[in-house]
Chain A
Amino acid sequence: GEQVEQRPPHLSVREGDSAVITCTYTDPNSYYFFWYKQEPGASLQLLMKVFSSTEINEGQGFTVLLNKKDKRLSLNLTAAHPGDSAAYFCAVTPITGNTGKLIFGLGTTLQVQP
């Protein structure tokens, strides 16, 4: 079945720097991709949902890139600020036989130093 590898597990950057988190997946039929943010002691909140037909998605202060050829999904936080300090999880759903169950990466803990 689908496997998702997320890197790095921990990331520390200074305020204003960029931070990049990458997930690679194995199922070429994977079709929907998600990024979740979990602030310390809190639940997971959906950051962005992207489809395989789009390659670049921009949010507030971040960009999600999808490289279907390399089966790689990345989250790029531009000009990180301390409020971005959190755990980030990618998730993938294959289109084949899918019933809505997401496959999660192990997460990346991001610390943004002032």
Chain B
Amino acid sequence: EAAVTQSPRNKVAVTGGKVTLSCNQTNNHNNMYWYRQDTGHGLRLIHYSYGAGSTEKGDIPDGYKASRPSQENFSLILELATPSQTSVYFCASGRDSANSDYTFGSGTRLLVI
């Protein structure tokens, strides 16, 4: 069954440390997205990708990097984690067409202490 799998499900990181959130999709979708979800802010787009080797800045890219080494994998990297990056992060995949919905992963809960 086509799916989007995120790892880890939960992560505790120290301030200043490096954090990598991973996302794998078996949908063969060209597009992949990273969002963070915080109470009162809905879903905010951090980075997205149109295919292997491509990354684009979303609405709130500061403090985050992204990597898309293959069609299936899309990573979100926090080089120097800060407590303000404590959040729930969702990865999603979708086709590169206007009628495409997203398939979301189960989310990663990140706590930066």
Q: With the chains together, A107 CA to B50 CA distance in Å?
A: 26
Inter-subunit contact B42/A99 (CB<8 Å):
no
**Number of contact residues on B: which range applies?**
20 to 34
Cβ of B2 under 8 Å from chain A: no
| A58 CB, nearest partner CB in chain B, Å | 18
Inter-subunit contact B94/A43 (CB<8 Å):
no
**Number of contact residues on A: which range applies?**
20 to 34
Cβ of B97 under 8 Å from chain A: yes
- Chain A residues in 8 Å Cβ range of B90: 43-44
Q: Is the interface of B mostly helix, strand, loop or mixed?
A: loop
Cβ of A65 under 8 Å from chain B: no
Residues of chain B from 1 to 57 with CB closer than 8 A to chain A in the complex: 30-31, 33, 40-43, 45, 48, 50
Q: Using an 8 Å CB-CB cutoff, how does the interface string of A34-54 with B read, 1 for contact, 0 for none?
A: 101000001111100101000
Residues of chain A from 81 to 104 with CB closer than 8 A to chain B in the complex: 89, 91, 93-95, 98-102, 104
Cβ of A20 under 8 Å from chain B: no
Residues of chain B from 84 to 102 with CB closer than 8 A to chain A in the complex: 90, 92, 94-102
- Chain B residues in 8 Å Cβ range of A62: none
Neighbour of B42 across the interface among A31, A49, A101, A105, CB < 8 A: A105
Inter-subunit contact B100/A100 (CB<8 Å):
yes
Inter-subunit contact B105/A32 (CB<8 Å):
no
- Chain B residues in 8 Å Cβ range of A11: none
Cβ of B74 under 8 Å from chain A: no
Chain A: residues with CB nearer than 8 A to chain B? 6, 9, 31-32, 34, 36, 42-46, 49, 51, 89, 91, 93-95, 98-102, 104-107
